[in-house]
Structure 1
């Protein structure tokens, strides 16, 4: 019988839908809750663990009490033991994660599964280092590290291989995290905090996020000019996050929000750095709308990484046909054949995007690229 550790950061991803660019620190958590954010880490963890319930007799989970693991394992019917030397605070803190990881190191577990973002990975890495195989369930806003499955369901695939005795690789991967204050000020500074040994199967575990810093200014300018030329009157345009889409805002003459979502109509900036709820309100006001998004370099995510303002509800209301995807051919080539990824926390919606999509890659230049 396999012994698995589970640590859930209940606050992971809390700041995403309300445009806070992260969830680190009590002050950010309080602000996110004040803005109406809802906790989603348990949902993301459920998506990863629910398909494993058929293997419940073959594993024992060791986990902190309450929202940090025990509540969900009980709901799903898994066998589990609560770590009796860890009493999570309310709300839980990074120190609780440290204590849980320290406790699990003493429990002779086969692997540690955790749910969170880069901040959680950093907390785990600080204690575990390379002493245990790990697998991260992506539940945060910032997910640049290479220790996460590409989606919660992808984590299920890796863990299914592990639980059924099939071959699973264990490889070192980087833990990286951003300076959240700098992130909110439109400065992307990722720092390497260490390496962990990660369970890997095929292409179910993501690569380290690439910054995409290369000589692409002319290509970006061409794509932006092409897109602005195609923009129609009386249509609400929601411009997503990232350097690629930011080029459109520059072409329009606006500073824009590098790491947020901006709204433009008739060549005028309507609103900046929108939250999920603000986007939903605009969708009620404007029946004609389009949204522009890009792919994350090195990973390929078009939803679920740094743009949680485009929630499953927002994506569904806009509709797949009204989304435009923009990426340079260099960025697509860096994926080495891996598909673009939709990770909205709604499996049915993710499945509806499966197939292929047209990607803007230059001035009047398009490619067809697969989506998984």
Structure 2
């Protein structure tokens, strides 16, 4: 007789709140994000993952959750009965609530802890369980540099579905994956200071798991500089450009004589710097009366174009620009180093992700492009 699969589910309800409102993270800033009009997304992404798991298809899944928005609500919406193992101490949850839930799930023998959040949530759970309980992240944060996340909520559901259907749990393969996080205060000041916290045990399903973000240490800077200068010289004066985060894209601003925001999106139109560190609302407001263009880079090691660290370039912003208005620039070495030789989009809008999928020309030099496939994560 097949044994029950014990699944712990932790949803960080405030994960990702800071993305579209330009906060670059939510740790300690949930109330400010809500004040700016942020809409919680972690619960919806959890439902998307659980819908791939399907309660009717896996009746032997024993689901343990946190109270309310920490997991129980998403489980109920997806048709799962769940055992409550923890209750948050206040309406706005924090790391203590996440850790308390993870500790109780470990005590109750969870086969896997599935969580919705970002790097901060991964770190909080890892602090409690280490590599004693396997982890899997539903990507729901602003930054996700760790290698414990599925490529999308649907991919997370597919992974768990496969584990639950496994007749012999001993045959499941796991890998030790990096749990990374960065200093939030330094990040908001424009500096990236990643730190390796440890290695969590994660189900090994390569194409459904994202890699850790890789730092670009040996790129041909001269080629990237020339490509950025060439792009700067070709900007349409009748178009407003949203230039996304990253060192490569900011070289375009430098070529124009502007100082941009390394970790934010800056707006340029008619030879002028219109705004720095713009959030979704600011981009859409500034774009009124203009044709909108978007210039973005690629996250090294992961290959994401949209959905990791640039959530202010939201589905609404992307749809206004259209595919014809999007330019992707990256160092050729970064593209060649991608394990799957593909780029990914995870905008939060599955329909838009499918529209963006296909073969794209990526700018890699002043007069050089490289054709890459973009896939829905």
State the TM-score, normalizing by the size of structure 2: 0.95
SS at match of 1:51: helix
- Assess if the C-alpha contact under 8 Å between 1:89 and 1:96 holds in 2: no
Post-superposition shift, 1:58? 2.6
Post-superposition shift, 1:283? 2.6
- Cα distance between partner residues in 1 of 2:238 and 2:356: 27
Gaps of 5+ in 2: none
Tell me the number of residue pairs that the alignment of Structure 1 and Structure 2 aligns: 368
**1:52 equivalent in alignment to 2:56:** no
Aligned counterpart in structure 2 of residue 262 of structure 1, from 266, 283, 298? 266
Written as runs of structure 1 = structure 2, the 5 A alignment for 1:71-220 is 71-83=73-85, 85-165=86-166, 168-220=172-224
Post-superposition shift, 1:215? 4.4
Written as runs of structure 1 = structure 2, the 5 A alignment for 1:1-372 is 1-25=4-28, 28-53=29-54, 54-83=56-85, 85-165=86-166, 168-286=172-290, 288-372=291-375
Post-superposition shift, 1:74? 0.7
- Assess if the C-alpha contact under 8 Å between 1:65 and 1:88 holds in 2: no
Gaps of 5+ in 1: none
- Cα distance between partner residues in 1 of 2:296 and 2:107: 45
- Cα distance between partner residues in 1 of 2:361 and 2:157: 29
What's the Cα RMSD here?
Answer: 1.3
**1:301-355 Cα distance to aligned partner (Å, 9 max, x none):** 1111000001112212221221000111110011033311110111111111121
Post-superposition shift, 1:216? 2.8
- Assess if the C-alpha contact under 8 Å between 2:44 and 2:74 holds in 1: no
- Cα distance between partner residues in 1 of 2:93 and 2:339: 39
- Assess if the C-alpha contact under 8 Å between 2:21 and 2:36 holds in 1: yes
Post-superposition shift, 1:156? 2.0
**1:166-225 Cα distance to aligned partner (Å, 9 max, x none):** 764211011110111111111000011111100121311111101213343212211111
Post-superposition shift, 1:56? 4.1
- Assess if the C-alpha contact under 8 Å between 1:161 and 1:168 holds in 2: no
SS at match of 2:208: coil
> Bigger shift: 111-120 or 315-324?
315-324
SS at match of 1:55: coil
SS at match of 1:57: coil
- Assess if the C-alpha contact under 8 Å between 1:212 and 1:331 holds in 2: yes
State the TM-score, normalizing by the size of structure 1: 0.96
- Cα distance between partner residues in 1 of 2:93 and 2:230: 48
- Cα distance between partner residues in 2 of 1:48 and 1:163: 14
- Assess if the C-alpha contact under 8 Å between 1:168 and 1:201 holds in 2: no
